[in-house]
Chain A
Amino acid sequence: LAKTTQPISMDSYEGQEVNITCSHNNIATNDYITWYQQFPSQGPRFIIQGYKTKVKNEVASLFIPADRKSSTLSLPRVSLSDTAVYYCLVGASDYGGYNKLIFGAGTRLAVHP
């Protein structure tokens, strides 16, 4: 059973900001929140990861409230090339390895001209 819940699909237009929210009510204390982007016939690509508060990198921002039961991926000024499926996952490293990641359905983002 996936640990996360996201909207199935979203639509946007070029140049707009897109916010995708993910629910993870049962997140464990050690879990990190990671977002991936996947294009057709490619492996998921790492976008951003955070534990709490706000994280920002050159492509996205990640907002995590204090209770950590949800997170929001923010993509500034999207372009057509941002059309993809976005996955939110929670997990953490373990002493002997890494806790497995269980994928939910993801959010299919379509960016229109």
Chain B
Amino acid sequence: GAVVSQHPSWVICKSGTSVKIECRSLDFQATTMFWYRQFPKQSLMLMATSNEGSKATYEQGVEKDKFLINHASLTLSTLTVTSAHPEDSSFYICSAGPRRSDTQYFGPGTRLTVL
């Protein structure tokens, strides 16, 4: 199957700082990527849809000014958690699918811990 990577795999930061997470489609182009957040023992919660060359679409309750998404190319989307707080600590996962494909592939996830 298609490969999606994330970087970093884990990050620890101080409260108030910003953290950038990258999501890359390694062997296909993706006009659309998705960002999810997952808390322990819970399911994945969709945060936003990242659209190449245009603004991201955020799900209800997700602060767009706090979770900045940039999809500057057909293989890269970034999620920046701005002014992170301990409650932002979570497992962040992205997904992408090849054009004209009905299959989404997920990245390995990024564990964010805010102290």
Contacts and interface: CB of A to CB of B under 8 A. Distances in A.
Nearest to A34: B103
Interface string A34-58: 1010000111111001000000000
Contacts of B105: 46
A75 to B, nearest CB: 18
Interface stretch (A19-27, A63-71, A76-84, A100-108): A100-108
Given A93-B97, A101-B34, A103-B43, A32 B102 contact: yes
A24 to B, nearest CB: 15
Contacts of A97: 31-32, 49, 51
B46 interface: yes
Nearest to B44: A103
Contacts of A44: 44, 93, 95, 106
Interface of B: 1, 4, 6, 31-32, 34, 36, 43-46, 49, 51, 91, 93, 95, 97, 99-109, 111
A109 interface: no
B71 to A, nearest CB: 11
B43 to A, nearest CB: 5
A106 B95 contact: no
15 contacts: A34-B103, A42-B108, A42-B109, A43-B4, A43-B6, A43-B109, A44-B95, A91-B104, A92-B102, A98-B102, A101-B46, A103-B36, A103-B45, A105-B43, A106-B43
A104 B43 CA distance: 7
A96 B31 contact: yes
B102 A91 contact: yes
A113 B51 CA distance: 46
B97 A98 contact: yes
B34 A100 contact: yes
Contacts of B91: 41
